[in-house]
Chain A
Amino acid sequence: MTNKTKVVELEQVVVRFAGDSGDGMQLTGNLFSDSTAFAGNDFATFPDYPAEIRPPQGTVSGVSGFQIHFGHKPVHTTGDLCDVLVSMNPASIKANMRWLKPGTTIIIDADSITDKALEKAGYQSDPTTDGSLSQYKVIKAPISSLTKEALKDFGMDNKAMLKSKNMFALGIVMYLFNRDITRVYPYFENKFKGKDQLIEANKTVLAAGYSWADTLEVFANTYRIEPAKLEKGKYRDITGNVATAWGLMAASQRSGRQLFIGSYPITPATDILVELTKYKNLKVKAFQAEDEIAGITSSIGASFAGCMAVTTTSGPGLSLKSEALGLAVMTELPLVIIDVQRGGPSTGLPTKAEQSDLMQALYGRNGDAPLIVIAAKSSVDCFYTAYEAAKLAMEHMTPVIMLSDGSLGNGSEIFRIPAVADLPAIVPPIAKANDPDYKPYRRDEEKLCREWAIPGTEGLRHRIGGLEKENIKGNVSHDPQNHELMTRLREEKVKRVANYIDDQEILGDPNADLLVVSWGGTYGVILSVVEKMIEEGKSVAHAHFRHICPLPKNTEQVLSGHKKIVVCEMNRGQFANYLRMNYPQFPYHQYNKVQGLPFLTAELEKEFNDLLK
């Protein structure tokens, strides 16, 4: 199909699909993402959906959204405000007003604007006619009725026909961005294998949406985004949770230790477990435990028995795992704990991202119980962070908590596929059979880690457990001096990990007036702002921390030489306080947001400019 209208080139675009939960907005967004990949753009996506599976229909609380930010230049964020909003009902306009900017194109299903729907959405009058949307370009598309019209010869009932209306909307957007709709066909063919009528129906509706936009020339022009200049290679689209699962599998393969995951379902971490249960073909042993505690303790058992063991969770689950984390610290067994953070405390905001588990990850255990904490910075980075978490856990014989968050986990990005052989080697300190000098708490001189003596290995029988153990020999010991020594050894072992991690990088002038400090999932948005401000000649630099405990060796140097330091995080200042404790000589400003929503570039830019004044 060809476009009649003028094609305008754009650098980057943000599109948001919004409708009722159950309208298929996540799917629509994902299919659009796929076509974006084929178009060669860089992109990042952000699903924004309610905790309920089917909340009250037509209400603002039931609106499910999916945002995609794509462009010709590298895309670091899922986008602030949207250029195009696809709305399947009035509630989805109301719910997304805060994401609109003057000139945003709103495509709404005109058939959905009924008195009842307006009332449910809490509108006194029709916003598309009462002038309240006058600063936007509103396109009223009869999506429902035209979907039914397109399917009138298919012999389907009303409900079945309307299930495809999201494809009509997708067709319109595909037209707007000059996408090839045939790229979506394989999805239908796969999804509805053997159900030819459904395949045809979806293709028909998708094409109908595309043709409607084309024929009626509803857009003054259409858009094209030139392919991004990406590094040569093979790419795929990947969500943070899938990337985490795959990073773990890569570490298992590289280390030669079979992967065991013991986990209990919890939003937004569940998808890692779901993903790993698929790979029996790669010999992944996935165990869905009866609760969070069994998730981690079964993993500790599997680790003792020689597996690369992992447990995945979110904040409330991490709380439940606290005692067992202490056991892993005491027994000095390798273990990866993945916390896909959500809004807390308690059940909090299950589907919204926050960074408020940092202190829990660092200190949430009885006793002096240090462990490694690292944080992923993007959806793709979840792959590398999970890999590093596993490497550090096995090579240093310690639990490692990897912090991800709901936005990273559910969000997706394009991923340049690495070769597992190119990833750093992982060499666990496995004790050799019949070593006459083997002792359970004999330590490596440099790393201070003990060896991994795996049951089944001859000549290495030993007993471990939660009781304090005698240095080297590993017998139960209540000796006061020994306890102090072992406590110090456990602390020093984690500190020495700093010798095996990268130095902290700084983007921009190392002596810039303002140093912006961040960690975890806020990387992209902060980077975008700092890059822009540097281009404008502002004296700003950015230090984004992956390694939280231990901090990189050059942290003090990175924090030195600035007039101001601002620590930005989606909590009330946990990392800022951690830095205050470790480097009290510096004054720290804070920028904090706890709304379950990502930082916006505009708010950060204003904050940084204010600090520079």
Chain B
Amino acid sequence: MENLKNENQVVNLTKEDFVSDQIVKWCPGCGDHAILKAVEDVFPKLGKKKEDIVVVSGIGCSSRFPYYMNTYGFHSIHGRAAAIATGIKIANPKLSVWMVTGDGDCTAIGGNHFIHAVRRNIDINLLLFNNRIYGLTKGQFSPCTFRGTVTKTSPQGTYEDPFNVGELVIGARGNFFARAVDNNTTELTGICFEAYKHDGLSVVEILQNCMIFANGVHDNITGKDVRDDMQVKCEHGKPLIFGKNRDKGIVLRGNRLEVVKIGENGITEADILVHDKTEKSTGIHMMLAHMMPPEFPVAIGVIRDVVAPTYNDCLDEIIDRETSKSNIHTVDDLLNSGSTWDIE
């Protein structure tokens, strides 16, 4: 797979090469602008020709994304981007396929395609902009809106529990899940590149702010004054330490995670859980994805990155094997195979 990614190496592509001639029409101050910038930073790093990248989206604010990238692009219909991207990737595994979607597009109307794309491990890089609201239809709650939130369609507050995207991905047998925030472009760029390097479906949930309909929904995580205490960076092989003074950490106690203070109650750095993104079992990854304020900081970074066979690798291997062992090489061979008879 790595070979595929490295072939057709092109040097000297810059961010500018990927900027399209279209006027970006997101609201001023929308988190989407920052994500666009990050992706423009990532694409030159892929070593891919512009022609070998396809950006696919569904419907929603985030789904305008393909128009703003100077690659091949497909702005499709609501919820179906994962299925369309699947078709593209199966048709031509050499393409680097990026799917851009939102919490409504991906986990509501497109929920079925999403979980099955994850389960099949199709090699797609899926960027899920999670602003916990329907933006383009002007402010209805989504499957990721927190319980009790007042929106256009929940004037008394919602009375349903939201999805946690990470849990959904890992529960659907996902092998790559990362979480990022829209106001840390450098980190987001790095995470997107990690997603690209992963063979198979990789989901990056980006906590993104909608200025108009859910302004500040992530403030308790992304705000300048709280972010050090409310984000724990998941770095492979490193202890899960966080806090302004880097004095807090996550430990595994019994069958649950806990926040501890280093230096208190005899806790040392050695007690802190060391992050292993490659662990096949889902338990700790699931618990990390689950962490939410106020009890926990939110896990940011690559939470899960497990090696597994991709759909295309398996399909192409079967095609190669069947092609080489079969006596039938053309449709004519097939038409004339099996039980036939001649009429003179």
What is A's interface to B at a CB cutoff of 8 Å? Answer: 34, 37-38, 40, 227, 230-237, 246, 249-250, 252-253, 258, 260, 262, 279-283, 285, 287, 289-291, 293-294, 297-307, 309, 323-324, 326-327, 331, 417-421, 455-467, 475-476
Q: Chain A residues with Cβ under 8 A from B22's Cβ?
A: 475
Residue of A nearest to B71 (CB): A461
- Pair B86/A420 contact, Cβ less than 8 Å: no
- Say whether B4 faces chain A, with CB atoms less than 8 Å apart: no
- Pair B343/A232 contact, Cβ less than 8 Å: yes
Name 20 extra pairs, CB < 8 A, besides A283-B323, A465-B66: A38-B341, A234-B336, A235-B342, A235-B343, A250-B335, A262-B83, A279-B328, A280-B322, A281-B329, A282-B330, A287-B87, A290-B116, A291-B112, A294-B80, A324-B80, A420-B335, A421-B332, A461-B72, A463-B72, A464-B75
Q: Chain A residues with Cβ under 8 A from B80's Cβ?
A: 293-294, 297, 324, 327
- Say whether B52 faces chain A, with CB atoms less than 8 Å apart: yes
| Given the contacts A289-B83, A465-B66, A236 and B339 also touching, CB distance less than 8 Å | yes
Q: Among B88-96, B154-162, B197-205, B206-214, which stretch is in contact with chain A?
A: B88-96
8 A-B contact pairs sorted by A residue (CB < 8 Å): A234-B341, A236-B338, A290-B113, A290-B116, A297-B83, A298-B83, A298-B90, A301-B83
Residue of B nearest to A237 (CB): B339
Shortest distance from the beta carbon of A388 to any chain B beta carbon, whole Å: 16
Shortest distance from the beta carbon of A265 to any chain B beta carbon, whole Å: 15
* Bound Cα distance A110, B59 (Å): 65
- Say whether B302 faces chain A, with CB atoms less than 8 Å apart: no
Return the contact of A461 from the options B51, B332, B344 (Cβ within 8 A). B51
* Bound Cα distance A298, B76 (Å): 11
Residue of A nearest to B321 (CB): A280
- Pair B75/A467 contact, Cβ less than 8 Å: yes
* Centre residue among A297, A464, A466 by max chain B CB count within 10 A: A297
* Bound Cα distance A282, B326 (Å): 9
- Pair B54/A37 contact, Cβ less than 8 Å: no
- Pair B77/A327 contact, Cβ less than 8 Å: yes
- Pair A463/B335 contact, Cβ less than 8 Å: no
Return the contact of B336 from the options A38, A304, A417 (Cβ within 8 A). A417
Residues facing A in B294-344 (CB within 8 A) are 315, 318-319, 321-323, 325-326, 328-332, 334-336, 338-344
- Say whether B49 faces chain A, with CB atoms less than 8 Å apart: yes
Q: Chain A residues with Cβ under 8 A from B328's Cβ?
A: 279, 281-282
Shortest distance from the beta carbon of A1 to any chain B beta carbon, whole Å: 22
Shortest distance from the beta carbon of B341 to any chain A beta carbon, whole Å: 6
Q: Chain B residues with Cβ under 8 A from A457's Cβ?
A: 51
Residue of A nearest to B54 (CB): A455
| Given the contacts A232-B344, A281-B322, A294 and B77 also touching, CB distance less than 8 Å | no
Shortest distance from the beta carbon of B92 to any chain A beta carbon, whole Å: 5
Return the contact of A233 from the options B59, B92, B342 (Cβ within 8 A). B342
| Given the contacts A290-B112, A291-B112, A419-B332, A302 and B88 also touching, CB distance less than 8 Å | yes
Residues facing A in B40-66 (CB within 8 A) are 49-52, 54, 56, 59, 66
| Given the contacts A232-B343, A283-B323, A420-B330, A305 and B86 also touching, CB distance less than 8 Å | no
Residues facing A in B88-127 (CB within 8 A) are 88-92, 94-95, 112-113, 116
- Pair B87/A260 contact, Cβ less than 8 Å: yes
* Bound Cα distance A398, B81 (Å): 20
Q: Chain A residues with Cβ under 8 A from B87's Cβ?
A: 260, 262, 287, 297-305, 307, 309
* Bound Cα distance A246, B332 (Å): 10
- Pair A302/B341 contact, Cβ less than 8 Å: no
- Say whether B177 faces chain A, with CB atoms less than 8 Å apart: no
* Bound Cα distance A266, B325 (Å): 31
* Bound Cα distance A302, B89 (Å): 8
* Bound Cα distance A331, B112 (Å): 24
* Bound Cα distance A227, B338 (Å): 22
- Say whether B242 faces chain A, with CB atoms less than 8 Å apart: no
- Pair A294/B334 contact, Cβ less than 8 Å: no
* Bound Cα distance A542, B50 (Å): 56
- Say whether B74 faces chain A, with CB atoms less than 8 Å apart: yes
- Pair B343/A301 contact, Cβ less than 8 Å: no
* Centre residue among B56, B74, B90, B319 by max chain A CB count within 10 A: B74
- Pair B90/A302 contact, Cβ less than 8 Å: yes
Q: Chain B residues with Cβ under 8 A from A40's Cβ?
A: 341, 343
* Centre residue among A236, A299, A306 by max chain B CB count within 10 A: A236
- Say whether B178 faces chain A, with CB atoms less than 8 Å apart: no
Q: Chain B residues with Cβ under 8 A from A230's Cβ?
A: 343
- Pair B338/A297 contact, Cβ less than 8 Å: no
Q: Chain A residues with Cβ under 8 A from B89's Cβ?
A: 301
Residue of A nearest to B49 (CB): A458
Shortest distance from the beta carbon of B59 to any chain A beta carbon, whole Å: 8
- Say whether B70 faces chain A, with CB atoms less than 8 Å apart: yes
- Pair A300/B84 contact, Cβ less than 8 Å: yes
Q: Which 5 A-B pairs have the closest CB atoms?
A: A301-B87, A465-B75, A281-B326, A298-B87, A305-B91
Shortest distance from the beta carbon of B192 to any chain A beta carbon, whole Å: 20
| Given the contacts A233-B343, A246-B334, A455-B72, A280 and B86 also touching, CB distance less than 8 Å | no
Q: Chain A residues with Cβ under 8 A from B76's Cβ?
A: 297, 300, 327, 465-466
Shortest distance from the beta carbon of B340 to any chain A beta carbon, whole Å: 5
- Pair B88/A301 contact, Cβ less than 8 Å: yes
* Bound Cα distance A235, B336 (Å): 9
* Bound Cα distance A253, B330 (Å): 8
Q: Chain A residues with Cβ under 8 A from B92's Cβ?
A: 305-306, 455-456
- Pair B340/A234 contact, Cβ less than 8 Å: yes
| Given the contacts A253-B331, A305-B88, A456 and B52 also touching, CB distance less than 8 Å | yes
* Bound Cα distance A290, B339 (Å): 35
* Bound Cα distance A461, B22 (Å): 13
| Given the contacts A298-B84, A298-B86, A463 and B342 also touching, CB distance less than 8 Å | no
* Bound Cα distance A83, B213 (Å): 74
- Pair A249/B331 contact, Cβ less than 8 Å: yes
| Given the contacts A301-B85, A301-B88, A458-B49, A466 and B335 also touching, CB distance less than 8 Å | no
Residue of A nearest to B87 (CB): A301
- Pair B340/A464 contact, Cβ less than 8 Å: no
Q: Chain B residues with Cβ under 8 A from A466's Cβ?
A: 59, 75-77
Shortest distance from the beta carbon of B139 to any chain A beta carbon, whole Å: 22
- Pair B77/A323 contact, Cβ less than 8 Å: yes
Q: Chain A residues with Cβ under 8 A from B216's Cβ?
A: none
Shortest distance from the beta carbon of B248 to any chain A beta carbon, whole Å: 42
Q: Chain B residues with Cβ under 8 A from A463's Cβ?
A: 20, 66-67, 72-75
Q: Chain A residues with Cβ under 8 A from B67's Cβ?
A: 463, 476
- Pair A306/B343 contact, Cβ less than 8 Å: no
Shortest distance from the beta carbon of B46 to any chain A beta carbon, whole Å: 14
- Pair A281/B51 contact, Cβ less than 8 Å: no
Shortest distance from the beta carbon of A272 to any chain B beta carbon, whole Å: 15
* Bound Cα distance A297, B110 (Å): 12
* Bound Cα distance A299, B90 (Å): 10
Q: Chain A residues with Cβ under 8 A from B84's Cβ?
A: 297-298, 300-301, 304
